[in-house]
Amino acid sequence: MTSVHQVAKNQLMLLQNGAAYFPQLCADIDAAQHSIYLETYIFAADETGRMVADALRRAAARGVVVRVLLDGYGSAELPQHWVDELSTVGVEVQWFRREISPFTLRRSRMRRLRRLHRKLAVMDGEVAFVAGINIINDVSVQDAFRYPRLDYAVRVQGVVAGEIHAAMRRLWGVVSWASFRRRGKEIERFVLDRAKQAVAPGITLVLRDNLRHRHDIEDAYRMAIDGAQREIIIANAYFLPGRVFLLALIQAAQRGVRVVLLLQGRVEYRVQHYATHALYDQLLAEGVEIYEYQPSYLHAKVAVVDGQWATVGSSNIDPFSLLLAREANLVVQDAGFAGELRANLLAAIAKDVVRIGDGYDVSRNWMDRLVARISYGIVRLLIGLLGYDKSI
């Protein structure tokens, strides 16, 4: 049974995996009376996508303003007839950077790689979700064991939902302006929304963009890590931190803080996966505990520090999330909420992982070590070509 945590004037509910998230999301869509905004990286044409699309269509049919913003790369496989079905009943659909070419890696073309990776939803400005979960079946069809991806979302009811609503309206307005639609009207809303953002003690919506908030999510992590006194638990699907972030973790371990990393155990993206392995020996030498999740793919982007500070959201700890993509994380400073997430992660570590032991690098054959180092070099080279060579 999921607990509801009261933080200031907000109610927070931690949701694990699609089995908890999607029914709650659709229930809140069905309860909306005025407006719905939804942003996602992947909107898949599968059973889960159909369930959410049907809820959105029902809302639009009863007169609710429904606006869906999809990433042009992550949702590229969504059939046009799905979009047409939504549009027919009045759902407004926009695309974030729909055109992308894999051959344009020059610095002048870097904007093509800036993706909308946020997973946000808000209903009536009163109920909102901040998630790492895409709109897709969370049990992989290739997985013979049929375990869901390990992932999280948080449902927020209260004043912070209004802040999330304002942020989503702003981005919708920017995309509309870029598409030469409703230009003046959306510019006016953009200005008004910036002036109406709410602030709630103990809860912070942290957004990453390529303008004024390029390092906000990374800075939030580093402040928590630098202030840690007892324990840091990070569960992250694609873990490839820059040098400063990595040093912060190592320094925390050196001052006696227990540092626990729950990482991807299955190979999803080979270069990223093996590049992460290049960091293992250095981390293990400093006493960092590393666990690889085994039952299915790990897709989580969460952390808990000292059982008091927690974050749930869309941002991986890799250069693509921290340097290129639009991301959204919720930071919560509350012992109840952080304690629930911590207990959940420790339960996964107790039964669903393989621990990486000391001497990991030595135990591998020369080919594995070479692949890891080459993969790490490829990622560094790519980031350097994009103009971010000092960040990793």
306 catalytic? Reply is: yes
**Distance of CA 89 to CAs 53, 59, 82, 152, 320, Å?**
11, 9, 12, 31, 36
117 catalytic? Reply is: yes
185 catalytic? Reply is: no
Residue 40: CB partners within 8 Å, gap ≥ 6?
A: 68, 69, 70, 71, 74, 75, 118, 119, 134, 135
Kindly name the residue from 5, 28, 71, 117 that is annotated as catalytic: 117
Find the DSSP H helices in the chain: 17-31, 47-61, 80-88, 159-178, 183-195, 216-227, 243-254, 270-277, 280-285, 319-323, 335-351, 360-363, 366-385
Assess contact for 140 and 268: CB atoms under 8 A: no
Which residue reads 């996602």 in tokens? 40
How many Å apart are CA 131 and CA 151, to the nearest integer? 8
- Going by their DSSP bridges, the two strands 231-236 and 258-264 should be labelled as parallel
Kindly name the residue from 124, 138, 193, 334 that is annotated as catalytic: 124
Kindly name the residue from 71, 138, 151, 306 that is annotated as catalytic: 306
Burial class of residue 110 (count of CB atoms within 10 Å of its CB; 0-12, 13-18, 19+): middle
Kindly name the residue from 5, 119, 273, 277 that is annotated as catalytic: 119
Q: How many CB atoms lie within 10 A of CB 174?
A: 15
Interhelix angle for 216-227 vs 243-254, to 10°? 10
Kindly name the residue from 301, 318, 334, 352 that is annotated as catalytic: 301
Kindly name the residue from 299, 318, 334, 352 that is annotated as catalytic: 299
Q: How many CB atoms lie within 10 A of CB 336?
A: 15
Question: Which residues participate in catalysis according to the annotation?
Answer: 117, 119, 124, 299, 301, 306
